[in-house]
Amino acid sequence: MHKPPISPHFKAFVIPNLPDQPAQPSAPISLESEDSLAWLTEFTPRRGLLNGHIQTIVGNYFPRPAFRLPFETEAVEVDTLDGSRVVCHCHWQPETEAGPEVGRRLTLVLVHGLEGSSDSRYIQGLTMRAWAAGCNVVRMNMRNCNDSDALSPTLYHSGLSGDVGAVVRHYTQRFGLERVALVGYSMGGNLVLKLVGESGPRPPICAVAAVCPAIDLSAGSDALHEPANRLYEWHFLRRLMRRFRRKAALFPHIYETRGVGPVRSLREFDDKIVARYCGFRDAAYYYYRAASARVVDRIAVPTLILRALDDPFIRLTPETRAALVANPQIKIGRASCRERV
C-alpha cells in the first residue's frame, strides 16, 4: 500500500489554466475569494465506499491510466555536511517559439507521504494533470525513498523541510524558475507547510497546497495506535523497520539493530530509532520540533489545505485549527463522506 495516510473525502481539485506571466510577490493572491475557488468541485464518493477506512484502502486498487510521461532523473544534493542526496524525476515542458521559456512556466514540486515515493499513484496522477495544464513538474523523493538508501547516510523524517528548499534552489539556479508551487501529501504536506512557515515569502515559491497534511505529529502518531487504525500502523512499521535494517546494512558504522528490542507502535519507532539517530531527545521532542503546527501562523504565501473530516488518523488539534483559520493566507477545504456508517 503506497498511498499516503489520507482518505479522499476532500473536494477534488484540478489545476486551472494559469497565466504565463509570473505572479508579483508584492501582491499575494487571496485564497478567500470565491473566484479563486471556482475550480474546486464537490467530492462524491463512489457507491459502496461509505467511510474513511474503505476509501483509504480501496483507493490503492482503482485502475488508473498508464503513466508514460517522459522525464529526467537527477540526484540532488540536499545536505552539504554529509552529502545526502535525493532522487528527483523531472518533467520539463518543451520550449516552442510561441510558448514561454521553461523557467517562466509554473513549476510544481510534489512531495509524497510516509513510505511513498515519486512513483506513488497519487503523485503520478497529479503529475499528468499538471503536465496537461502546461506546468513543469518535479517529483521529489524524500531521502532513502525510491531505492535511494545508499545516497544518504541519514534516515528521513518529518523535520527535513530544508530538503524541499534545497530542491527548489537547485532547479531555480539551473533553469531560472520564476514561479514554484509546492504540493505535499500527508507527511509531505507537513514538510511543505513547515518550509514556508519557517522561511516566509521567499521567491520563487508563490503558492502551497497540502493534502491531508500531518501537521500535528504527536496527535497523529497516537491516533495510529488506536485499535481501529492498527492495520495502518502495522503497515508503516513493517516498511519502516525493513528500511532501518537496510540502512544498517549499508552504514553499519552508524546504525545498530541489536538492542533495539520490539517496536510495537510508530511512537516507539520514533523514540527508539528516529530520535536516537536524528538528533532528538525523544519522540515527544521530535514531534514538537518537526511539526509544522509550530509555524503555520507565520505562513505568508497563498496556501490551500485540503483535509478529510473523517480521515482515520490525520488529526488536527483545536490550537492548530485556530492558527490556520486566523492566517489570512491559508484557505482550508474540508469535506466528509456524504454517507457515514
Which pLDDT value is given to residue 41?
A: 67
Which pLDDT value is given to residue 339?
A: 33
Which pLDDT value is given to residue 324?
A: 96
Q: What is the largest CA-CA distance in the chain?
A: 63
Which pLDDT value is given to residue 311?
A: 83
Q: How confident is the model at residue 65 (pLDDT cuts 50, 70, 90)?
A: confident
Q: How confident is the model at residue 310 (pLDDT cuts 50, 70, 90)?
A: confident
Q: How confident is the model at residue 133 (pLDDT cuts 50, 70, 90)?
A: very high
Which pLDDT value is given to residue 73?
A: 97
**Residue 133: partners with Cβ closer than 8 Å, 6 or more residues away:** 15, 16, 17, 18
Tell me the pLDDT of the chain averaged across its residues. 84
Which pLDDT value is given to residue 25?
A: 32
Do 151 and 84 touch, CB atoms closer than 8 A? Answer: yes
Q: What is the pTM of this model?
A: 0.84
Any idea which of 34-38, 163-167, 254-258 has the lowest mean pLDDT? 34-38
Q: Region 175-191: what's the mean pLDDT?
A: 97
More confident residue, 88 or 100: 88
Q: How confident is the model at residue 43 (pLDDT cuts 50, 70, 90)?
A: low
Q: How far is the C-alpha of 23 from the C-alpha of 229, rounded, in Å?
A: 42
Which pLDDT value is given to residue 312?
A: 81
Q: Region 76-87: what's the mean pLDDT?
A: 97
Which pLDDT value is given to residue 112?
A: 98
Q: How far is the C-alpha of 265 from the C-alpha of 251, rounded, in Å?
A: 24
Query: Cα angle vertex 245, ends 241, 246, to 5°?
Result: 115
Q: How far is the C-alpha of 299 from the C-alpha of 294, rounded, in Å?
A: 11
Q: Look at residue 159 and tell me whether its pLDDT is greater than 70.
A: yes
Highest mean pLDDT out of 1-10, 36-45, 89-98: 89-98
Q: How far is the C-alpha of 197 from the C-alpha of 144, rounded, in Å?
A: 25
The DSSP string of 63-107 is ---------EEEEEEEETTTTEEEEEEEEPPPP-SSSPPGGGSEE
Nearest C-alpha neighbor of 108 from the set 42, 148, 35, 164: 164
**Alpha carbon 129 to its chain's center:** 17
- Write down all domains in the chain, each with its CATH number in brackets: 67-215+293-335 (3.40.50.1820)
